[in-house]
Structure formats: C-alpha cells, structure tokens
Amino acid sequence: MFSKLSISQKLYFSFAAIILFIAVLVASAYRGFEQVEEATNSNVHTYQVLSEAQLALEQLINIETGMRGFVIASKDAFLEPLVAGQKRFTEELDSLKRLTADNAEQQRRLAALGDTQKRWLDEDVNPIIALRRDLTARNMPDDELDARITSGADKAKMDSMRALLAEISGAEQKLLVQRSQDMTDAKHLAILILMCGGLAAAVLAMILAAVLGRSTTARLQLAIDAATAIANGKLDTVIDTSSHDELPKAFDRMQNRLREMIQQISQAANQLVVAVQQISGASEQLSGAIQEQSTSASAMAATIEELTVSIHHVSENADEAHELASRSGQQSKDGAQVIENTLSSMNGIARTVQLSSTQVAGLGQHSEHISSIVSVIQGIADQTNLLA
C-alpha cells in the first residue's frame, strides 16, 4: 500500500506517523508527570493531616496540663493552657475533618475523638476543676480529689484519645508510604517512557526514512532515465505510470507533448516546402511573362522607328507638295484643299505618334495594352501608306 502512494503522500504519511508517535509519547510522559504531581500533592496533604493530628494531641496535653496544674496549685493562672487548648483543639479537629473529607475511616475516627474529648471535658476535667474550687473554698482536705484523680477515669479517656490520634497518624503514614511509592513509580515510568519512546521514535524515523528513500530513489532514477532519453531525442521510451508518483506521469505527459509538437513542426515544414515550390513556379512564370513583354516592347520600338522614318518622308513630300502648290498659286483650289487635308492628317498622325510614345513609356506597367497599341500603330501605318 505504501508503494502505491505518491511522493507527496509518502512524505505526509511519514511525517504524520512520526508526529503522531511523538504526540503519544509526550502525552504519556505528561500523564506520568501528572501522576508525580498528584502523588506530591497527596504527600503534602498527608503531611498536613499529620501536622494537624500532632497539634490536636498537643492541645489535649495542654488541657490536661492546665487541669493538673490547677488541681495542684488551685490558681486560675494554671487554667490558661486549658482554655486555649479547648479552643485550639476545636479548630484542629475541624481542620482534620476538612482535610480527610474523602476518607470515611478517618472521619469515623475523628467523630469518635470529638465525642471522647467532649465526654472527657464533661465527665472528668470540668468536674475535677469544680471539685478543686469547692474543696479550696471550704478548706477541706484533698482526699476526695485524690480519690477522683487516682481512679484513672480521666486518664483512660486521655489514653483513648491518644490512641485515636495515633490511629489517624498511622493511617496517614501508611498512605504517605503508598503515595511516596506511587510517586517514585510514576517518576520512573515517565523517565522510562521518555527514554524508550525517544529511542522508538528515532528507530521509526530511520525506518520511514529508509523506506521513503528507497522508494523515492527508485522513482527518481526512473525519472532521470526518462529525462536522459528525451534529451537524446528518443521519444518512444515506455514510462511506467502504474504507480501514483507524480514524476513518471509528468515525464510521460512531457514526452507525449514533445512528440505531438515535433509532428506538428514536421507537418508545418512540409507545408512550407510545398509553398516554396509554388512560389518558385510562379516566379518562373512571371520571368517568362516579363521576357515576352520585353520582346514585345523591342518589336514595338522597331515599329515606331519605322513609323518615324515614314512620317519624315511624308513630311518631305508635304513640303514638296506645298512648294508645287505655291508655284501653281490659284491653279487648283482642289489641290490646296487636298494639301490642307494632308496637313491635318499629318497633325493627327503626329498626335497619334506622341500618344504611342507615351504608351510605350508606360509599357512596363501596362503590358496588357501592348496588343491594342500595336494594332493602332499598324492602322496608322496603313493610313500613312495610303497618304503616301
């Protein structure tokens, strides 16, 4: 299938495959780094829970310390840690509930911790403080107070709360270990994806380059061979156009077009030869016509020369006739009339000769009138002979 694609399609396919592979690689690496970031954020969250649990335990200790200090000293100054501890414990407990809202087991432990702390305050801490105040006010011995403290009821609740906080911290520690391992695994996976993916992308690029190079080189060599054959004048080369490559098809179209152009040029050259032959024949005919015209002109010139001689003789005869007529005077009016007619005829002959000369001068342009002029001259000659 790849071999049937055109060169441009092969290039598009190769680059698209590499880009797609790199995109998948980048997406996988990005997902790996997202997992690392999620694990890091989870670890930060776990550290916050552990910190809040430790602060909650410290507030319980402050409450217990304030209670015991007041029992011993019976002074209100020792109750300051107790009051502050109660307020801070409530804040830390709320913070822990908010941080572990997605953990039902931790929520259960925190609820038990809150109940135990409330019972501890109501059943032990506040009653012991009240008993201390009462004994001090009545100046009574501390036997009842000692018995209440040594009963261990308040300590049991304190130990229970310590245990709950320890469970909360232990659960978070386990989550921390698991999340740290997940973060390490995600980091190693991201690195592995980048290394293996980069190597795979390089291998894929080399494979596609080799396949594309081999295919393109073969097609280019065919195109070069076709171009060389066309340059050498061989226009009957069979070019394989079965593939979808643009070059073989382009060279095949060029060869066909050149063949058609050469055929058209050959036909035009043949037509030009025929036209030249026709022009040559027409030139020969024109040369013959010109030769005939030249011969006719020569003959007409000779005729005109003869006519001029005849006119001269006629003029001499007319002079002689005029002389005779002068000497004879009025002897014959008919002779005078004849002479006048003769002179008029001579003037007409002269005008006719002048017209003939003009026609002879334009003989090169009006050769088609030669025959008619010759006829006119022959008529004049006949008249001249008649007058003579």
| pLDDT at position 242 | 61
Domain boundary among 195, 221, 247: 221
Domain span at 296 = 272-387
97 falls in which pLDDT band (50, 70, 90)?
very high
Tally Cβ neighbours within 10 Å of residue 110.
22
Residue 189 resides in a domain: yes
Q: How do residues 295-332 score in pLDDT, each as one tens digit? A: 765 666 566 566 565 556 655 654 664 576 566 556 54
Do 174 and 27 sit in the same domain of this protein?
yes
Comparing 244 with 173, the larger pLDDT belongs to 173
Place of tokens 């709320």: 94
Say yes or no to pLDDT of 93 above 90: yes
| pLDDT at position 104 | 93
197-235 burial: b if 16+ Cβ within 10 Å, else e? beeebeeebeebeeebeebeeebeebbeebeebbeeeeb
> Stretch 168-197: mean pLDDT, rounded?
86
Tally Cβ neighbours within 10 Å of residue 102.
8
What are phi and psi for residue 237, nearest 5 degrees?
-70, 135
Q: How do residues 271-284 score in pLDDT, each as one tens digit? A: 877 776 777 676 67
119 falls in which pLDDT band (50, 70, 90)?
very high
Determine the 3-state secondary structure of 74 from DSSP: coil
| pLDDT at position 111 | 95
Do 100 and 199 sit in the same domain of this protein?
yes
Do 214 and 284 sit in the same domain of this protein?
no
Do 120 and 11 sit in the same domain of this protein?
yes
Residue 93 resides in a domain: yes
Q: How many domains does the chain have?
A: 2
Cβ contact 128:66 at 8 Å = no
Determine the 3-state secondary structure of 235 from DSSP: coil
| pLDDT at position 386 | 65
224 falls in which pLDDT band (50, 70, 90)?
confident
The CA distances from residue 8 to 155, 202, 205, 220, 261, in Å, are 84, 22, 17, 13, 30
Do 280 and 205 sit in the same domain of this protein?
no
Residue 137 resides in a domain: yes
Do 21 and 146 sit in the same domain of this protein?
yes
Q: What is the chain's mean pLDDT, rounded?
A: 77
| pLDDT at position 107 | 94
Cβ contact 304:360 at 8 Å = yes
Residue 289 resides in a domain: yes
Residue 235 resides in a domain: no
Q: What percent of the chain is modeled with pLDDT above 90?
A: 24
Do 48 and 163 sit in the same domain of this protein?
yes
| pLDDT at position 144 | 83
Which of 211, 253, 201, 205 minimizes the C-alpha distance to 230?
253
| pLDDT at position 31 | 80
Tally Cβ neighbours within 10 Å of residue 170.
12
The CA distances from residue 267 to 25, 264, 273, 279, in Å, are 65, 5, 10, 18
Do 81 and 193 sit in the same domain of this protein?
yes
Tally Cβ neighbours within 10 Å of residue 2.
12
Structure tokens at 114: 């809150």
> Stretch 33-40: mean pLDDT, rounded?
79
Comparing 184 with 388, the larger pLDDT belongs to 184
Domain boundary among 155, 188, 221: 221
Cβ contact 4:244 at 8 Å = yes
Output the CA torsion 216→217→219→220 (10° steps). 110
Residue 246 resides in a domain: no
How far apart CA 22 and CA 55 sit, in angstroms, is 49
User: In this predicted structure, which of 14-18, 205-209, 314-318 has the lowest mean pLDDT?
Assistant: 314-318
Q: How do residues 226-253 score in pLDDT, each as one tens digit? A: 677 777 766 666 666 665 566 666 766 7
Q: How do residues 335-385 score in pLDDT, each as one tens digit? A: 557 556 756 766 766 676 577 556 545 555 655 565 666 576 767 767 666
Domain boundary among 160, 190, 221: 221
Cβ contact 154:46 at 8 Å = no
Instruction: Answer left, alpha or beta for residue 260, where phi above 0 means left and psi between -120 and 50 means alpha.
Output: alpha
64 falls in which pLDDT band (50, 70, 90)?
very high
| pLDDT at position 7 | 65
Say yes or no to pLDDT of 258 above 80: no
Residue 252 resides in a domain: no
Do 301 and 365 sit in the same domain of this protein?
yes
> Stretch 74-102: mean pLDDT, rounded?
92
Would the pTM count as exceeding 0.75?
no
Which of 153, 152, 139, 127 minimizes the C-alpha distance to 70?
127
> Stretch 155-170: mean pLDDT, rounded?
93
